[in-house]
Structure 1
Amino acid sequence: MKYALILDHVSQYSISLMCEVLGVHRSGFYRWREGPQSKREARKEKVTSLVKDTFESFEATYGAPRIAQELNALGHKCSVNFIAKIMQEQGIVARNGKAFNYSGHALTMHNVADNLLWRDFSAERPNQKWVTDITYVWVRHQWLYLATVMDLYSRRIIGWSLDTSMTEELITQAMQMAIDARGKTPGLIVHSDRGTQYRSNSYVSFLERHGITRSMSRKGNCWDNAVMESFYARLKVELIYSKCYQSIDEARSGIFGYIEIFYNRKRRHSANDGVSPVEFEEKAAIAA
């Protein structure tokens, strides 16, 4: 049954990853599958997995030429055309690619804010420092985009939004959810990367209307928002990779359960003395 599940999703996820998640050996899967795998199939499967990993590692900013450069530098010989074909088959498009309908100023560094956090992810009280970002979720034959907002005080996800397009509306909806849940606190800082959406005039105006101060990571430095990157890594390992969602509704329901029920209320967090974000906030409120 597990091998059949792997075979059904071999075009979406790497075999090594699925075998690891399902607790089976890759060699066993190959023995089970009818007929030996051709060298050409094996190479394409391996490179497809590498393309997906590289694409996500560089925050979806690399197209075929740069991904090919990265893989060749690591010793995986491949052409730009080969990588481009794989990306087309997998529906992978760089965020600055032609498929994204940004304005003519998309590539200019306007509306960049100073880095006010400088990797200080501690907070003395709720609603002092929030961090936000966007990640990619593969569902059957398309990408979904998940925007989240985290309160650094307890590491609680206080706002999130899921959609089929990566727009200013996506991140504004996540931020509005956070504001509705927590209210507006004077001096609140919201930190993000320098993504086009976070520099858009509509989003900047939205934060200004709510009296929220912006902070941004340095150019190309994912470690400046490491806490959110860590959350996304856990989300994908603990949920996305193991579920292989086949529809948007399935993914939305699963992400809701993970964030609102498991992560916020049950999952123990080392930064919270080993308790969940909600329990940490409740204990802090009682102690105060």
Structure 2
Amino acid sequence: MKFAAIADWAESGDFPIEFMCRELGVSRSGYYAWRDRAPSQRERADHGLTAIITQVYERLRGNPGVRRVHAELITLGHRVSPKRVWRLMKAAGLQGRHPKPWKRTTIVGDAPVPALDLIGRDFTAEAPNQRWCGDITYVKTWDGWAYVATVIDLHSRAVVGWAIAEHMRTELVTAALDMALARREPPAGVIFHSDRGSQYTSTIFAEYCAKNGIRRSLGRTGICFDNAVSESFFATYKKELVHTRPWPTVKHLTKETFDWIETY
């Protein structure tokens, strides 16, 4: 580090090399040996990998942390450890966005319509349109609170339906499911898993699912891990989009959410 600092100051002409070596307690011969030494193979490899990491970071809009960058490098064919990715990102000043504190939005209904947990924390599916999950989150705009509902296919983790409104009534979640049904046209018996929020336990929602051939599945009350895929998606949505800027209107939020989900 001392040699690197001396090289920077020497290049800008701030101080004489002999003076800097003396003040920093290093030898001139050591400095010149360091300066003339060719970069090692490891250093050259780190330099090239840092350039790729920077490209990945910029392409993902400055959002990804170490795990997502590491996963992206693996898909690009680079065999590299997460620890090395962390070291290079830290050296390059690249850091992923972090979520803000969580706020409860689930409101348990007074008389929930019974439904079993058909998922049991097994968030996989052998084929598309077999098992879906969903949830609701909130976003504060200058006009007031907005609420976002999603439908995620557990086979690919793709968002197949979503809706935004200024209320948390059952119509919000059915609007998201309307989009999913229109896009995917699933066979009768597709499972839709959610928490026990009042929207998902209402009689209106039960009737909607029966009419559209959807099998309802409910996690346990107060156990966020029972709907972990939906929770994880919203954590990413919040830290990569919602918490990066103010939201003047629900219309503005809807436009940017469309871009984030559908094109990014």
Query: Which category of TM-score, normalised to the shorter sequence, fits these structures?
Result: 0.5 to 0.7
1:256 aligns with 258
Q: Which amino acid aligns with 1:259?
A: I
1:147 aligns with 149
Query: Which of 29, 53, 56 does residue 101 from structure 2 map onto?
Result: 53
Quote the Cα distance in structure 1 between the aligned partners of 2:248 and 2:129: 36
TM-score by length of structure 1 reads 0.55
Quote the Cα distance in structure 1 between the aligned partners of 2:133 and 2:246: 28
Quote the Cα distance in structure 2 between the aligned partners of 1:245 and 1:141: 9
Equivalenced residues, count = 166
Q: Following superposition of structure 1 onto structure 2, how do residues 21-60 of structure 1 map, counting pairs within 5 Å?
A: 53=101, 56=103, 59-60=104-105
2:137 aligns with 135
Larger radius of gyration: 2
Quote the Cα distance in structure 2 between the aligned partners of 1:149 and 1:121: 13
SS at match of 1:53: coil
Quote the Cα distance in structure 2 between the aligned partners of 1:184 and 1:127: 5
Shift of 1:138: 1.1
Q: Which amino acid aligns with 1:53?
A: P
CA-atom RMSD in angstroms: 1.7
SS at match of 1:137: strand
SS at match of 1:113: coil
2:232 aligns with 230
Shift of 1:141: 4.9
SS at match of 1:112: coil
SS at match of 2:139: strand
Q: Which amino acid aligns with 1:220?
A: G
Quote the Cα distance in structure 2 between the aligned partners of 1:246 and 1:53: 21
- Extract unaligned runs of 5+ from structure 1: 1-20, 22-51, 62-94, 97-105, 263-288
Q: Which runs of at least 4 in structure 1 moved beyond 2 Å after TM superposition?
A: none
1:239 matched to 2:241? The reply is yes
- Extract unaligned runs of 5+ from structure 2: 1-62, 64-99
Quote the Cα distance in structure 1 between the aligned partners of 2:210 and 2:105: 28
TM-score by length of structure 2 reads 0.60
Query: Which of 107, 111, 116 does residue 110 from structure 2 map onto?
Result: 107
Q: Which amino acid aligns with 1:246?
A: P
Shift of 1:238: 0.5
Quote the Cα distance in structure 2 between the aligned partners of 1:240 and 1:142: 14
Quote the Cα distance in structure 2 between the aligned partners of 1:187 and 1:143: 34
Shift of 1:201: 1.2
Shift of 1:211: 1.2
Q: Which amino acid aligns with 2:105?
A: A
* Contact 1:145–1:163 under 8 Å retained in 2: yes
Q: Following superposition of structure 1 onto structure 2, how do residues 1-288 of structure 1 map, counting pairs within 5 Å?
A: 53=101, 56=103, 59-60=104-105, 95=107, 106-108=109-111, 110-262=112-264
1:270 aligns with none
Q: Which amino acid aligns with 1:240?
A: V
Quote the Cα distance in structure 2 between the aligned partners of 1:112 and 1:148: 22
Percent identical across equivalent pairs? 41
